[in-house]
Each structure stands twice: as C-alpha cells, then as structure tokens.
Structure 1
C-alpha cells in the first residue's frame, strides 16, 4: 500500500503525519486514489485513432474478462504517467494496463496495451494477454492486432500451452481438439485477403500452439472499408469465441498439480512474460519514446508484471 501511495501522491504528507488524522480525513486520499484509477481505466478504454469495429472488439474483450472475474481482479496501480505516455515530439503514445488478480483469482494478471503512431493515425498495436496462476496448467490467452496501414493488419490469437503437447496427448485433446479451436483458423484462411504470417521470432513460433491464428490480412486500397468489414464480421466473432473457450474451459478448469509441476509452470511463465516484454516492447519503445523514457516505462512494467510471481 505504501508503494501505491507514493506512486499517486508523491507530494503527500508522510504516513506518520497522516496516521494522526481521523479515519474520516484519511478517506480523502483513498477517494482520490480510486478516482485516479477510474479515470485511468476510462481513458484507457477510449482506444483513440482506431476504427469503430476495432475499438468495439477491444472494449468487448476487456469488459468480458472484467465482468467474468469482477471482484477477483484488483485495480491497475501503475503510475498515471506510465499508464498513458506520449513522447516529447508528439509522434507516439501508449496506453497500458496491468491488472493483477487477488489471492482467490485464477488469473494472476492481465497485460493490456495499446500504442499508436500519431503521425499516421492508422498505425496501431493493441494487445491483451491473460495469464493463469500456477494452480492451473491450462493455456493462457493471447490476442494481438497490429494495424500497419488502412488496408493491412497482422492478427495473432492463441491459447498458449504451458506444457509440451507431444508428451501430453490428453492435454492436447482436452484443450485444443475437443474445443475445435482449429476451425477458427480454417474459417479465416478461407478468405482471399488472408495469408499465413510467419513471425521472424523463433521464440514466438516455438511457444505457439498448433491451432494458433497468425495471419496477415491485406485488402485493396479502399480507405480501410474492407478490412474493417473483416474485423467486424470475422475477427470479432472468432476472437470472442476463443475467449469464451478460454473462460469456460481454461480459466475455470480444476487441475490437480504437484509442487514440482507448479514450480516448473511458474518458472516457464516468468520466461514467457519476460521475453514478451523484451521482444515486443523492449525493441520498439526506445525508438518510440527515447532511451530514458523507455527504460522508465519498461522497468515499471516489469515491476508490476512480476509482482505476484
């Protein structure tokens, strides 16, 4: 709690002085903190500079997860200047939320970020990752939508397996075969505008499941109308169906794990989260925000991203 108060109230009186106030007077900083958190969440859900179908999908994903877990998710406590940051030249900005779960939550944390290029407002990257705690070895949920122009985007959707699927055929059947996850990839690849996308990162390719959707979508130069139609009619329902599978069959799964297996899952999860920051954010933030600001943002992300590990 002291760390949170320092983050939001850098110039507040010391706790030794505050302790002499009445409980009624102490409620004011708490109210300010709660208002700050609500304002930060409200600003985050604005998702500026994206089309209506893109924004509707992002808002629906966030609110669906929040509605399902409700009181099991704690407010984002990142410092305000890290939650929303714009570089000095006003060319790039980022909105970031890290939402930890409480001790009763199956979700250890959510990482949601949205970044955009203010020079070309069509350029944006939106991402949502939901990680389960080590009492559950079910897959984690990952969504990325990178809009690189009005007529082209890269889409990544997967339930990341924390286990070797070759050694665990029953696991493969339970979470990937029985849930018919591969039908969603097949549906998308039937579209003429959709092509498989091969990431240059061997790490990402190694950690993905066999049912992962990793595609490039390119359309004619029509101002983005067709690609928005694809987002609305295909990416939106497919993503929500996969999220529904994750919520119903993964996040709420009852799995019996021993101490050694839980320790292994925790170690593996830390590697994946650390590499996600290193590859995805660490490579682009210095270019977007400068080395000093990027270092501050990345250090804050790591501090809060791993605080429950």
Structure 2
C-alpha cells in the first residue's frame, strides 16, 4: 500500500504492477521559484521550509499548481497561521530513506488561537517502486477546529507515471448529511462543487471514476468530491497530461480552495457551536485522524523510509493530530 500523507482520506494503490508505471526522470531543481509576498518580519520566520517549495520530481504544470495553491493560502490566510517551524523540526521538514531513492517534505502550519484553522498540512513524497519506477504525491489539507462545523479541505494529486495520475479534491463533511440537510444545502447544494465535478468529467474524457478499495474511505468523502484516475494514451509523451493539469485541474483546484477559504475559514459554519456539538465534532475528527495513521501511515512509512525515519515523521504528525 502506498503512503499518502492524508490524515483522513487517501487513495489506495494496492498493486504497483497493475499500474502503467515508467521511471520518472529527476528534474533539476530550479534556482528560483515563484516569489511569495513577504515583509521583513515574515522573512525572519518563513511560513514553511524551502525544501517543500522545490517539488523536484514533478511535471512543470504540477509544480506550478502546487506553488500557486500554497501562494494563495499564504496570501489569504497568513494572519491565521503560525510558521511551520513551530511544529515541524528541520529533520522532519525534509527526509529520505537510506539510499535516497524515496524522499519527502512536510510542512504543518497550526492556526493561531483566534482562527478557526486547526492546521494546514502540505507535503510531497517521491517514492521508489519495486519495478524501478517512481510515484510522486502532493497533498494539501486544511483542518478546522471545533469552533466551527465547516468542512475540512483536501487536495491530492498522485503522479503515478508521466502519463497516469490520480486526482482527489473535496471538502470533507463533518456532519451526517442525512441528519443535517441544512449542512448539505449550505456547503454542497448551494456551492459550485457539483458543477466543478461535472466540469472535469465533461472536459477531460480521459478521467475515469476511481473507486477506493476502502469502504470507510468512501463513507468519509462528500457527494461532490472529485476522485478520478486519468490515463493519457499519447505515445509516452507528457504533453496531454501537462495540458490537463494546466487547463483543467488547476482552475478547479484554485476555485475549490478559494471557496473553502471564503465560506469555511472566514465565514465559519452553519450555526453557533454548543458544547455537546463541539464534543461530537472533536470525536469525529479524532477518529478520522486515528484511522489514517492506523490504516496507512504506520505500515507504509517504515517500508518506504525505515523505522527510524518513520518514527520521527509519525511522531510529528501524531503531535499535531493530538492522538
């Protein structure tokens, strides 16, 4: 099972041999990346480590997408967040296995006391596969506190090969949508989420629904969540894959992120949260985080990175998850 740094939802890729994988050539890290707007005081305490922003193994549009999403978070939510260095030590910001074939970078920005944000976790993983290929996983997730019932944010793009990838984008519900129809209406029916899901389905004919083998996972995602696999049959070139990321995935991901920041982070939830409801939200969030560790991370991390590295990274994540 492949390791994905998603605390509550992840794509299950059970058989490496079943995927049309080819070895991804390592790109040279660009000397400069898109600059983020900072003040002198912010430069003294950067919001995240430099290694996160390198994305050294991705297709160019995939890297541009990640840098753009992170820049949007920094611009809109900078006042809500603490620097990643407050939660992630240097030896967890970037890590690799003994051979250096598998690498990862982790950034976690906790929310300030006055913010609805619990934390925003951003990561990339470059994983070596038994057949000599590689898999690249990029992930952004935003968790909110129990001061609001608004959904969490989840973005993940898995580059299984230069022409095959899996895309997951959702606002993860924190209430039962059958028992709370007002919640369904506010965050899903009255938003553009379903229209965006259909837009991708219509515009990208190569996109096929991806069904996780985990029934638990299928129960966690929202009815408007996007979970697709995309295979580009173009003679092994990356042109079509790059076009899809740039022209289709990027605008949809940007719009959903903006929707989450505006409607969930800044406006809050559907009602004032009473103490008993707060307890239920915390219980649900805690169970989702715990299942993520148990189902995937605790078994996959030692296989990919060795026990010492796995213990170090999982220790940081467990501390932030408070489990």
* TM-score scaled by length of structure 1: 0.83
The alignment of Structure 1 onto Structure 2 pairs a total of residues equal to: 274
Q: Distance in 2 between matches of 1:61 and 1:39?
A: 14
Contact 1:49 1:121 in 2 (8 A): no
8 Å Cα contact 1:92/1:288 also seen in 2: yes
Q: 1:104-253 residue pairs with structure 2 within 5 A? A: 104-117=114-127, 123-190=135-202, 191-220=204-233, 221-253=235-267
Q: Deviations over 1:6-63 (max 9, x none)?
A: xxxxxxxxxxxxxxxxxxxxxxxxxxxx989649622211111111110111111112
Tell me which of 106, 109, 116 is aligned to 1:96: 106
Match of residue 314, structure 2, among 270, 284, 298: 298
How far apart in 1 are the matches of 2:58 and 2:99? 21
- Secondary structure of 1:45's counterpart equals helix
| CA distance 1:242–1:66, change in 2 (3 Å) | same
Instruction: Determine if the alignment matches structure 1 residue 49 to structure 2 residue 57.
Output: yes
8 A Cα contact 1:76 1:97, kept in partner: yes
- State how far apart, in whole Å, the 1-side matches of 2:163 and 2:126 are: 16
How far does residue 277 in structure 1 lie from its aligned partner after superposition?
A: 3.1
2:111 & 2:99 partners in 1: Cα distance? Answer: 36
Residue 272 of structure 1 corresponds to 288
Structure 1: segments with no counterpart, 5+ residues: 1-33
Q: Distance in 2 between matches of 1:283 and 1:290?
A: 11
Q: Which secondary structure does the structure 2 equivalent of 1:282 belong to? A: helix
Structure 2: segments with no counterpart, 5+ residues: 1-41
**Farther-moved stretch of structure 1 (281-290 vs 172-181):** 281-290
TM-score (norm 2): 0.80
Relative to 1, partners in 2 of residues 1:195 and 1:109: Cα closer, same or farther, differing over 3 Å?
same
Residue from 51, 66, 84 that aligns with 1:76:
84
Which structure is higher in helix share? Answer: 1
Q: Secondary structure at the match of 2:236?
A: coil
Q: 2:167, 2:227 within 8 Å by CA — same for their partners in 1? A: yes
**Closer, same or farther in 2 for the Cα pair 1:281/1:68, shift >3 Å?**
same
Contact 1:122–1:150, Cα closer than 8 Å, also in 2: no
1:261 alignment counterpart: 277
* Contact 2:95-2:309 within 8 A present in 1 as well: no
Q: Is the 8 A contact 1:69 1:105 kept in 2?
A: no
Structure 1 residue 66 corresponds to structure 2 residue 86: no
